[in-house]
Structure 1
């Protein structure tokens, strides 16, 4: 079932005259007052349509030729109709009536001021009888697979179908532009007619000049110097009504932001939208791909921290994704998925989090540059150690999703640590540093206590050294509490040595923190002296 809805209203901004500039719609390929198809394409023969051009300002262009024998691809099957979705279409190698046999199809897109304009054209092998020609502009990448006879890709809302019919030997011309507005679950398309024109001549434009079509009223040089029609017109010459071209101002119908990845020129069995399709020529058109570039950024000043191996702690930071679209097409929209890892190579083994950010435009598109949108991941303050981000764009109605960007490694540097110590009574915890202890009753038990500070809670242990002098010189007794990593820190960052005995004499302690994953080892603490004396007693 084909559904038609009311036509779209024209925009308020006056549209550019399609048929005069930037490309002429005048029924030939020769540039006169503006660009024409010869401006855009060289053609090296019927089987060698080249998009290499001597000039022109088109932002996208393509030219496709096919063979004129039974190895050419044609439509087949009752499902090959404009009103059905692409998966219903089928093709094969074969031939069609000569008047329906397409030779070359070409298309171009221009940015002209604020307008986006599509131009399209083609030629056929014979001109006997009426001609029903269609042009599809697909947002999806529609392709034919000759080995299976199937088409890949799907219709999307805002795909455009241009239909033009030349009747009475080409003297009556009409053209209409149809917009896909919906695709049902069963594959039926709904259309709206956005523009149409007709005339009793070989040229037709609507009143606002937003859609035009033309065919050649007489013989004219062909785009391909080796073109040869069925009637044996001299080589390199189009006989009357063998050539067709047209134009549509996309911006006049609020379609200037759409991107068309592929196009197809077709011939049809009749003027009806339900007509079975016959021949086709098509290929890629616009590069409707978004690119993604990512950087790790500091929250405070937007400094690029990607590949930085010495990021200070604590540094709040985020990942920035810049997504760039196609020149002349709307800027990508939608979301970006960010992934964060505790390693330098985005290895899933150390995956930490997946986060999302919404794109917002930062640079508008121009005729030569794509629009750029930015998305930011949520802020985080990573601990010292290796980390990385990557991100992917999730696509929108114009652009497919991308793969993940290149991995963005960075390393947060370990934090310098400090250590302070004192000699303590193991029972009361009283500070005995630099004190004289009474040894009349025998040796006095002491411990050394070390408090470690770091920008993040330290772990690990402390190595204490006990000396038999007051200056921490010479060889002392190393005290690691019997542990390889040293006497362990508690939750408050305090470590306690084993018990040492103070006898008559002078002694001292110092200590060093051995560091952990987050904190660097400390410098050696200040020397802590203590002495033991037998106090005098009076009778």
Structure 2
């Protein structure tokens, strides 16, 4: 194995080359990142040194035997992240594997994705022998995401993405990222980019259309180039910067699309990056591997690459949300892009769990009742107590939806979390009849930046209460309004001549009478209980001049 450092010192290593003719796997330098949670050793299956927890696929004896659907590829043993991929039918691409039970149960795994990218020879709903995920206009690294178009097309085998996967892992500091890919062909130079974006990037619906998303300060791109006829692999790391060099740069996550000084900047941070390529044939994992020779159970030398990024060493404080691998036509970083996979959701920050409770709750509250909200924010993995602030919003009757409060009006200033909890300011802006719901929005701060993501919480249960009638609660029973409540026209006053009971012995009727009003559509409201009758309070009382209306 020949390793060619780009400088004289390993500590400054970011890019290195691997000879494809060597028989051994690439040794990683001693400062290679990230941790040993996942083995970066050029193997797909777990063949761990001491202390390694996972690899991409299981290995070991036939016991335990994982449970897979009929016909799926089932690799026995333990230690894998993915298993149970399925063959394709009638020319369709294979099915992606699922997470193993061990991976699902590991609380330190934050997010993961396995993308089976269609090949140019596949049959998909978008056509026969067409790859539906190709760039259809001239585009290069760093172009505005919203200006990129996609659609079915054909790309050379060396540029055609196959299986691509990634996982994020929580540490005692900031998270780390691992990524891997399988090459369809190693015949000729090829160039693969692994892009990690903080914006949520998507595609318009259909077999062709546009990308949707933004570029933000701190986005990362690992560029991998196989040169020398495809036999030598080098890698380099780029970071999106909003301002011209040498900066300073804004906070990670600041949106800055191309058009000004924003650009991808090559960076070299010792100890931030690990990378390796298989130097010999390795077994495939619990899924269908593909190459131009039709081999599905193993990967030829130099056809598998994997790497990792230590976000703590990179001093990255944002939150990635999208994984977007793609290929280039040439070694130049600005060469035209050809094929892509995904884009796939991949997060590096945990979504904190939030428990909230409104005070008051329930129905029949008096207009102007003083209300507040209390929230507790905690780590679902149980490893840390989130720090930061919580902003509170209150939705009035015209803003409440079936799910609670989607927008709302701010109530006071954002409150700092103390031991993971915060309480809003009190408000008496509750004079309108109907249902009110709270919404709480968490923003990470101090040590939680880059660890936890921004999160919001609302619901139509403990976050809501209803204001029933104008006047004190003793003035009437109130209104048990649904969520969201109907628009209600209240009576202008509570009357002393209201009926309290209706009795028609010949019809077997003997029922309490409730006061009801009119809905804004002019219809008479219904009584609170189905066993009661309703008296239209805006009309006459029984025994008085005029028409008295009672229904039920």
- Note the C-alpha offset of 1:102: 0.9
| Higher share in strand | 1
Partners of 2:290 and 2:325 lie apart in 1 by: 19
Correspondence for 1:36: 55
- Confirm or deny that 1:67 pairs with 2:118: yes
Correspondence for 2:321: 261
Tell me if structure 1 keeps the 8 A contact 2:370–2:426: no
Partners of 2:228 and 2:218 lie apart in 1 by: 32
Partners of 2:417 and 2:100 lie apart in 1 by: 33
- Confirm or deny that 1:24 pairs with 2:59: no
- Confirm or deny that 1:390 pairs with 2:448: no
- After superposition, residues 3-18 of structure 1 pair within 5 angstroms as 18=33
- Note the C-alpha offset of 1:354: 5.0
Correspondence for 1:307: 362
Give the alignment partner of residue 113 of structure 1, picking from 161, 168, 172.
Answer: 172
Tell me if structure 2 keeps the 8 A contact 1:41–1:54: no
Once the two structures are superposed, residues 102-160 of structure 1 have per-residue CA deviations (whole angstroms, 9 ceiling, x without a partner) of: 11110001113334110001112100122211111122221234433311222222222
SS in 1 for 2:188: coil
Q: Single out whichever of 352-361 and 267-276 deviates more from structure 2.
A: 352-361
- Note the C-alpha offset of 1:179: 1.9
How many residues get paired? 378
SS in 2 for 1:87: helix
- Note the C-alpha offset of 1:219: 0.8
Tell me if structure 2 keeps the 8 A contact 1:344–1:410: no
- After superposition, residues 92-103 of structure 1 pair within 5 angstroms as 92-103=151-162
Tell me if structure 1 keeps the 8 A contact 2:203–2:211: yes
Tell me if structure 2 keeps the 8 A contact 1:16–1:115: no
Tell me if structure 1 keeps the 8 A contact 2:169–2:348: no
Tell me if structure 2 keeps the 8 A contact 1:344–1:409: no
Tell me if structure 1 keeps the 8 A contact 2:352–2:386: no
Structure 2 alignment gaps of length 5 or more: 1-11, 13-29, 58-79, 88-92, 122-128, 243-255, 445-449, 476-492, 498-552
CA RMSD of aligned residues (A): 4.4
- Note the C-alpha offset of 1:345: 6.6
Partners of 1:246 and 1:36 lie apart in 2 by: 12
- Note the C-alpha offset of 1:333: 6.0
SS in 1 for 2:191: strand
Tell me if structure 1 keeps the 8 A contact 2:372–2:423: no
Correspondence for 1:51: 98
Larger radius of gyration: 1
Correspondence for 1:226: 288
TM-score, length-scaled by structure 1: 0.59
Partners of 1:403 and 1:356 lie apart in 2 by: 17
Give the alignment partner of residue 259 of structure 2, picking from 183, 186, 194.
Answer: 186
Correspondence for 1:408: 464
Tell me if structure 2 keeps the 8 A contact 1:127–1:241: yes
SS in 1 for 2:437: strand
Give the alignment partner of residue 241 of structure 1, picking from 260, 280, 302.
Answer: 302
- After superposition, residues 309-328 of structure 1 pair within 5 angstroms as 317-321=371-375
Give the alignment partner of residue 336 of structure 1, picking from 372, 383, 391.
Answer: 391
SS in 2 for 1:55: helix
Structure 1 alignment gaps of length 5 or more: 1-8, 10-14, 197-206, 298-304, 364-371, 418-458, 464-539
For the structure 1 residues 164 and 138, does the alpha-carbon distance in structure 2 shift closer, same or farther, using more than 3 Å as the test?
Answer: same
Partners of 1:84 and 1:118 lie apart in 2 by: 24
